Amino acid sequence: MIFQNIKVNDLNVFYRESGSADKPVFLLLHGFPSSSHMYRDLMVMLEDKFHVIAPDLIGFGQSEAPSRDSFKYTFENLTDYVDGFIEALKIDKFYMYVFDYGAPIGFRIAMRHPEKILGIVSQNGNVYEEGLGKKWEARAQYWQNPTKELREQYKSAFSFETVKGQYTFGTEPGSVAPDGYCLDIYYANTIDDYAEKQSDLIFDYQTNVKLYPKFQEYLREHQPKLLAIWGQNDPSFIFEGAKAFKRDVPNAKVIGVNSGHFALESCCREIADNILEFFKK
C-alpha cells in the first residue's frame, strides 16, 4: 500500500492506494467521523483482484481542511472534489464502496457519470427514508428550525463517547480495536474549527434526504450491479434501508452482518469475502 497526495482545484487530497494498476479500480468513500483509515484492512484483502483507491474527503483525515470562509462544507461541494479527484487520477471506470457520508457523495457521482460505474457496494450507506433510524426524526426537526442551541447540542456527535459508540454499539465485546475511533478523535482535536465545519455538514445532510428519490431513480434506470452489506445492529441507518435496494434493483444482493455502524471494524473478512464472491470474474 502507498500513501499519496494530489491537488484538486488547488486543495490537497490525501489517498491510499494498493493493488496493480492493470486491475479494475475500486474506489472507497469513507463516512463520518472517519477517513480512508477505515479501509486499511479491507484494501489488503481486495488488492489481489482490484486496484484499490481510498481518498480522505476534504475536511477529513489527512486531506486539506480549508476555512469556512474559503470553502463551503456541503455534500455537493465535497462531491465536486471527489469528482475532481477521479478526473485527476484519470479513472475512466470503477467499482465503488460507499459508507455513511460516502453514500450520498457516491450516488451523486453515479448520477453524474453512470457510464463510469461498474458496480456498487453500499455498506450502511443509506438512500431510503425507511433506512433512517429514530434519531433522524429529531434531525429533521432541527433542519426545519435550525436554532443556535440545537446546533450546539449536535456537537455532542464529536465527543469521545459518541464516536466510540459509533464503532462499538451493536458489536460483540472485544471485537473492535480502539485504533479507529481514537484516530477519529485525534483529527477532531487537531483539524482547525472542526466542530463548526462538521456542524455545517450535519445541517446540510437534509439535501441528501431530499435527493433520495433521484438516487432511487438512478438505480431503477441503470440497474448497477449492487451489493448492500449492512451492519444490521446499526441504530442510525437501519437494516430496512438495505432491504429497500431490492425494490429498485431486483438483482441486488442484500446481506446483514452481526455488527453495528462501522461493520468493517469487526466483520472485515466477511465483507471482503462477499465482495470478492459477488464481483468475481
* Residue from 30, 37, 51, 261 carrying the catalytic annotation: 261
Residue 54 burial (C-beta neighbours within 10 Å; 0-12, 13-18, 19+): buried
Report the distance separating Cα 38 and Cα 176, nearest Å.
12
Q: Which residue has 459508540 as its cell numbers? A: 165
Distance from C-alpha of 226 to C-alpha of 223, rounded to nearest angstrom:
8
Q: 190 by DSSP, 3-state: which?
A: helix
What does the block give as the cell for 161?
463517547
Specify burial of residue 235 (Cβ count, 10 A radius: 0-12, 13-18, 19+). Answer: middle
- Phi then psi dihedrals of residue 113, to 5 deg: -135, 65
- How big is the CA angle at 250 (ends 245 and 252), to the nearest 5 degrees? 60
Report how far residue 257's alpha carbon sits from residue 175's, in angstroms, rounded to the nearest whole number.
13
Grid coordinates 466510540 are at which residue? 164
In which region does residue 237 sit, left (phi positive, over 0), alpha (psi from -120 to 50) or beta (all else)? beta
**Does the annotation mark 261 as catalytic?**
yes
Q: Where are the beta strands (DSSP E) in 45-85?
A: 51-55
Active site residues: 261
